[in-house]
Structure 1
C-alpha cells in the first residue's frame, strides 16, 4: 500500500478500528490485538479506549512480527495457551466487512460441531479469515514459520467445516485496488 492501511478511512473510522470494533461486539471471551512492537495504535479509534470496550481487549506486541505473519499468530497463541482457551479465532484487522455476526456464527457452530476442529469461511475454494481453530490444533499452529498463515494446515486437515460466503464479506485490504473495491460498501 505504501502507507499504513489500517489508517485508511472507511465508514468514518480508521479501517483497522472497524475490525476491532466488530470483534469487541461479538461474543468472543477475549480479544487480543497482536501488533508490531512499536505500533503507536493510531489506527484504533479513541472510542475503543473507553468503556465498555477497553475492558474487552488488550494489545500484545510481537517482537518478531517483522519476520512474517506466523510470528504474530504464535504470539497470540501463547496468550491463548496461558488463558487455557478452548478455541481461538484468527481475525485480520484489514477485513472491515467481517461482522460480529460472522464471528458469532463460528462460535455458535463450534458449540454444535465439537467433532470439527476448524470452522471458517471460503469463497470459490479459497479459505479466508476469520477461522476458528480448536485447542487441539494450537500445537500444529505453533509450528508455523515465516510469512505464511494457516492455509496449509487447513487444506490438509479433514475435521473442518468451511462455510461458503461472498468474497466481499471476507475481502482484506492489501492493495489500493482492494481499498477501492470495499469503498462501494461504505
Structure 2
C-alpha cells in the first residue's frame, strides 16, 4: 500500500473489429474472462482506493462477474477513440481529488497485483515525478500512474491518442520501470493475439487446454 489516494481508470471500452465479437468476454481455461484478469489484479493489490471501469453504453458486462468493487462509467463517446475513454474516467476520478490516477487497459490479461504495487510504490517514493510507466524493452506503455500535474494534459488528448503520447513529452518528468516478463506486455487485438494468450496462460499456469 502506498498510503496515497489513488484512482484506477480501467479502459474497457475499446473494441477490435478483427475479433468478430466483444473480446473482453472471451474465456480462459480457468473460466475467467479476458477483461476480468486486470480488474481482479487491481482489486486484490489494494493499491487503488477507487476503481473506475469505462465501458460503452451497450456493454452487457458479462466479462465482469462482480462489478461491485468499483464504479462503472458508460461513455457514449468512447467509440471516438481512447482519449474519450480516458477523459470519461478522469472526470469520474477527479470528483474525489485523487493523489494520482492509474490508467490500465482491460485487454492486457497478464497484469499482476505486484506490477500495480511497483508502480504505486515508485511513485509514492518520488513525489516530484509526473508519471511512472512500464518499460517493456522496445517501448513504454500502460499501465502507468500519473500525478495531478498531468490531469489537464490527459483531459486534452484527442482521438485515439493514449497516455503514451504524454510520456514522450519532455515537459514531464517520469520514470519507466523495467518489465522483464514478456507476457505482461500482451494486449489482445486479433484472433492470433488471443490464441497466443491462451497458450501462454496454459503453459504458465498448467492448464491443459
**Shorter-chain TM-score above 0.5:** yes
- Runs of 4+ displaced beyond 6 Å: none
Match of 1:13 among 28, 32, 38: 32
SS at match of 2:62: coil
Report the counterpart of residue 48 of structure 2 in structure 1.
Answer: 28
State the TM-score, normalizing by the size of structure 1.
0.91
CA distance in 2, matches of 1:74, 1:87: 15
Match of 1:70 among 57, 78, 83: 83
1:71-150 equivalences in 2 (<5 Å)? 71-150=84-163
Unaligned 5+ runs, structure 2: 1-18, 203-209
How far the C-alpha of 1:164 sits from its partner, in A, is 1.4
Match of 2:173 among 155, 159, 176: 159
C-alpha contact 2:57 2:75 (8 A) present in aligned 1: yes
Report the counterpart of residue 192 of structure 2 in structure 1.
Answer: 177
For the aligned residues, what is the CA RMSD? 1.3
Q: State the Cα deviation string for residues 126-152 of structure 1 (Å, max 9, x = none).
A: 112111011110001111010120111
Range moving further from structure 2, 160-169 or 62-71: 160-169
Unaligned 5+ runs, structure 1: none
CA distance in 1, matches of 2:196, 2:148: 35
CA distance in 1, matches of 2:124, 2:152: 21
How far the C-alpha of 1:185 sits from its partner, in A, is 2.2
CA distance in 2, matches of 1:136, 1:99: 26
CA distance in 1, matches of 2:182, 2:161: 20
Match of 1:4 among 5, 12, 22: 22
CA distance in 1, matches of 2:55, 2:150: 23
Q: State the Cα deviation string for residues 18-49 of structure 1 (Å, max 9, x = none).
A: 1111111122110000000121111112xx24
